Amino acid sequence: MPGTGSVMNPIRILVVDDSVVIRKLLSETLTGDAAVEVVGVAGDGRIALAKIPLLKPDLITLDIEMPVMNGLETLAAVRKLYPRLPVIMFSTLTERGAAATLDALALGASDYVTKPSNTGSAAVAIERIRVELLPKIKALCGAAPLKLQPLPGARPGLPPRPPSNPRIEIVAIGTSTGGPNALAEVLPRIPRDFPVPIVVVQHMPPIFTRLLADRLANHSAISVEEGSAGAALTSGHAWIAPGNFHMTVIRTATGGRLNLNQGVPENSCRPAVDVLFRSAAEAYGSHVLGVVMTGMGSDGVLGARDLRNAGGDVIIQDEATSVVWGMPGLVHASGLANAAYPLPQLATEITRRVLQSRSPQALSKPKNDSILEPRLL
């Protein structure tokens, strides 16, 4: 990585955008934080590539639609020359912008932020940048150390429950920063005859979640779609929570179903992993496998506690393969994870656990994680 931002030295940012207004807005807003320094701006990708070796930024914010050399072309060149340099895409909240952002994530962008549009107020736009962009910059540059948050009604280091080996009836996955690529690694590796439904929260706005579901469906043996109210939960099928809606699961006399609501955001998120996990614990009890993957923040920790208290298991993505080890790291730090796995092993482990729990031997054979797990926490 060209730069070496740290807690002592401000994180060095290169702002790349063809709009003079956006460059000025980003520069002034980011520079207002003592942990960040905007060391340069560029109006197109060609200029940005020339400035990187001179300015040695720790992170780049990159517009997608630019003249001369657009964001995707610039990102591909950056990844070739500086494979570890964090890049945050700055995209529009439109169908075209969402599709281009997903393309950018597939090319190796670290994360994205949607541009504040139609706010009618510079103050609102500035506040959105502070709330949405600054925390991502700090997390990706290691300036936001992992801190264990006290869990209401629980204590850190919760001891594992005795193995009950419940039959898994549903898999619930939560992820955020780095999640689209992580899901693209996991869901396509789930076999077509997978015997239970999968429900997923990926922190993303509207439009983005639908396009993500469509892309995952094109590369997966199982069916993948955006969640819809009242959808029946069927085996071999995955649902992605729609942007701006919490997704929950319920059980009825005819089986499991999805519900959607626009309740208060939790952990500043809607959809929130905690909401999904909590509903799964209430509906399915010990028969849930929770999976927490790469992501910034603490969403999923309280939900993981609910799953463990109900008798279910929670596994996490390991630190080495996570873009940001915030969400899974806090589940680990809270003593709520049964085990951690590198991203390439997660699909195999999810499948193994589900199939093993549903085999005839599972009812009489207690599970021993110390034998089965490559990495116990």
Report the catalytic residues: 176, 203, 299
Cβ-based neighbours of 147, under 8 Å, separated by 6 or more: none
Helix (H) or strand (E) holding 124: helix 122-128
| Residue 150 DSSP class | P
Task: Give the tokens for residue 190.
Answer: 């789930």
Dist. CA 14–CA 23, nearest whole Å: 10
To the nearest 10°, report the CA torsion of 82, 342, 311, 354.
Answer: 120
Burial state string for 196-230 with b = 16 or more CB within 10 A and e = fewer than 16: bbbbbbbbbeebbbbbbbebbbeebebbbebbeee
CB contact at 8 A, 333 and 298: no
Beta-sheet strand order (sheet of 170-175) = 223-226, 237-240, 198-202, 170-175, 288-292, 313-317, 339-341
Structure tokens belonging to residue 278: 């909590």
Tokens for 231? Answer: 């959808």
User: Interior CA angle at 89 toward 88 and 95, to 5°?
Assistant: 150
Q: Name the DSSP class of 376.
A: B
Q: Letter for the amino acid at 108? A: G
Other C-beta atoms closer than 10 Å to the C-beta of 88 total 22
Q: Which residues contact 120 (CB under 8 A, 6 or more apart)?
A: none
